[in-house]
Amino acid sequence: MEADAKGVPICLAHVEGRYAALGNVCPHRQGPLGGGWIEGGAVVCPWHAWAFDLNSGKAVAPAKGRVAIYPVKRVEEDLWVEIPQESAV
Ligand code: FES
C-alpha cells in the first residue's frame, strides 16, 4: 500500500508477519511501488514489473537501481516509519 511519512512517499508491505517500508517511487519511470504486489520477497512495480528486494531495496529483476529502505515498527495500532531528516519534506 501507499502512504506518506513526513512528506516522503512510502510503499508499505506486510509479508509473513513482518512490515517493510520502501521508497514508493520506482527508479524506472516513477511508478507507484505501493500499488504493486509481493513476489518472492520483493515488491513488484505495477507499471512494468521491475522488482525490488524488501530487505535491501535493491532491484532484482532487472538488477538496475534501488529504492530506499526505512526502519518501520508497529506501535499498538500504528506503524512508525523512521525517515532520515535529509529525506523529510
Ligand atoms: S515504472 Fe516501475 S517498472 Fe517501470
> For ligand 1, which residues put their CB under 6 angstroms from it?
26, 28-29, 31, 45, 47-48, 50
Cα–Cα distance measured from residue 73 to residue 52, given in angstroms and rounded to the nearest whole number: 20
Q: Residue ranges per domain, the chain?
A: 2-81
- Residue that has been written with the C-alpha cell 514489473 in this structure: 49
pTM of the entire structure?
A: 0.91
Report the nearest atom of ligand 1 relative to the CA of 49.
3
Burial (CB < 10 A; 0-12, 13-18, 19+), residue 36, is: buried
Domain 2-81 CATH superfamily: Rieske [2Fe-2S] iron-sulphur domain (2.102.10.10)
pLDDT tens string, the chain, 89 residues long: the values are: 999 988 999 999 999 999 999 999 999 999 999 999 999 999 999 999 999 999 999 999 898 899 999 999 999 999 999 998 887 76
Cα–Cα distance measured from residue 60 to residue 6, given in angstroms and rounded to the nearest whole number: 28
The amino acid at 83: I
